[in-house]
Structure 1
Amino acid sequence: MDLDTTQLIALAAALGWASGLRLYAVVFLTGLAGWLGWVQLPSGLHVLQAPAMLWASGGLLVVEFLADKVPWVDSAWDMVHTVIRIPAGAALAYGVFGGDEATWAAVAALLGGSLAATAHAAKAATRAAVNTVPEPFSNIGLSLLGDAFVPAMLWLSLNQPVLFFAGLALSLVVMVVLIVLLWRFLRGLGQRLRRHWQPA
């Protein structure tokens, strides 16, 4: 499957956005698709289909999958990955055009980093808020939803880019609303906890 310009732009956006949610799944699935010959990956992404990279990203995918199901462990994982997901999203988006189209690659890197940052902030805020609820099922349900949503969006970016862009636009609107509402909730919760524990 050779990619046209629309698919390349969609792939760059998908890699950036999805890296903010499930970085290692993105790296593994993209590399696996290239290694199996399902997609002719751009030259800047060929490193993802190297066997060593597939083993490494596959192992980290399993760790992330498990960590994301455990309340508070998921938030700790998100905190650590604040400094990993955003530059990785920018680098993956850059790789779609890197080496061939310098201007497009730079634009893709900015887009990918911004989308990764938005997705990561929304995910971290949502999971931190859900972790304040004592039952674990909401946490696991949200995690499984992310596990399914990321590969679905990657598939759409390659096969139905117009639908992908519509889904991405809707996702971004929802994410921005979540970021605003949930950070307000978490800030208010933090203020209440500080007042509770302050000595009288």
Structure 2
Amino acid sequence: MSVSVLPLVFTSGWASGVNAYAVVLLLGVFGATGVTDQVPDALQRPDVLIVAGVLFLCEAVADKIPYVDSVWDSVHTVIRPIAGAVVGALLAGQSGSLPDIAAGAIGGSSALLSHVVKAGTRMAVNTSPEPFSNIALSTAEDLGVAALISFAIFHPLAAAIIAGALLLLGLVTLVVLWRQIRRFRRRRAQRREEKRLAAAGATGPER
């Protein structure tokens, strides 16, 4: 057992903001199969694993459909941060090296930030008419969560550094994307107004 569970709490919080059900499922499986002793019994229960598995499959489908993914993200604006906080508190309780309240705050905060990045990025991607970008992004997110949680079990500090870098990169990317979208919309609105004025002038009364 690690001296401090803080890196794992932060990483699981970041991952919960992207896909909370995958985090619960992966941690539960790792704990139930004896891969690690850092996972609390509450996450290893068969009923928890079954529910997490079913909801993970639902998210895997909804997350790849344009606009449906944004609706799903809206519903999970509260669920993902809460999941990150609960998982963090449970991990801290299992370890005994970090107060539950502090772990919950860290897990919930990192989950909220990564959720904002995910939801905002999806809204930006949905401005594209084709569905392939959604499928590619969703698949990359699922694989990223699985890889980082698995890595965090064995190398928690390194995984936390990667999660922090991904969170920072995501926030910067989100800001850049929305600035570009705003500029594109302004230019499109300007062109429409110019066409409208041109059409109005062409059809105006002759003198």
Q: TM-score, normalised by structure 1?
A: 0.85
Cα distance change on mapping 1:169 and 1:103 into 2, 3 Å: closer
Per the TM alignment, residue 103 of structure 1 is displaced from its structure 2 partner at its CA by 5.6
1:10 equivalent to 2:3? Answer no
Please tell me whether the aligned partners of residues 118 and 175 of structure 1 are also in contact (alpha carbons under 8 angstroms): no
Determine which of 68, 80, 83 is the counterpart of 1:85. 80
Structure 2 counterpart of 1:161, which letter?
P
Match of 2:21 among 21, 24, 30: 24
Q: Where does the alignment leave 5 or more consecutive residues of structure 1 unmatched?
A: none
1:62-92 Cα deviation digits (max 9, x unpaired): 1011111111111110000001101111111
Instruction: Tell me how far apart the structure 2 counterparts of residues 38 and 169 of structure 1 sit (CA, whole Å).
Output: 25
In structure 1, C-alpha distance between the alignment counterparts of 2:38 and 2:189, rounded to whole Å: 51
* Structure 1 residue 121, shift from structure 2 partner: 0.4
The 1:182–1:9 alpha-carbon spacing in structure 2 relative to 1, beyond 3 Å, is: same
Structure 1 runs, 4 residues or longer, greater than 3 Å off: 99-103, 182-196
* Cα gap change, 1:90 to 1:145, in 2 (>3 Å): same
Percent identity of paired positions between Structure 1 and Structure 2: 39
The equivalent of 1:39 in structure 2 is: 36
Distance 1:120 1:133, change over 3 A: same
RMSD of equivalent CA atoms: 2.5
Give the TM-score normalised by structure 2.
0.83
Which sections of structure 2, spanning at least 5 residues, go unmatched? 198-207
- Aligned in 2, Cα 1:99/1:168: closer, same or farther, shift over 3 Å? closer
**Residues 14 and 167, structure 2, Cα contact 8 Å, conserved in 1:** no
Which of the residues 141, 145, 151 maps onto 2:146? 151
Whole-angstrom CA distance in 1 between matches of 2:147 and 2:169: 17
Offset of residue 100 of structure 1:
6.7
User: Comparing 187-196 with 8-17, which one deviates more in the overlay?
Assistant: 187-196
Structure 1 residue 169: deviation in Å? 2.4
Higher alpha-carbon deviation: 72-81 or 163-172: 163-172
One of 64, 67, 72 as aligned partner of 1:72? 67
Aligned residues, how many?
193
Decide whether the 8 Å contact of 1:10 with 1:158 is kept in 2: no
Aligned pair in 2 of structure 1 residues 102, 185: CA closer, same or farther (>3 Å)? same
Kindly indicate whether the alpha-carbon contact (under 8 Å) linking 1:14 and 1:154 is maintained by their aligned counterparts in 2.
yes
In 1: Cα distance, 2:43 partner to 2:123 partner: 31
Go from structure 1 to structure 2 and tell me whether the alpha carbon gap of 1:135 and 1:120 turns closer, same or farther (over 3 Å shift).
Answer: same
Whole-Å separation in 2 of the counterparts to 1:88 and 1:36? 22
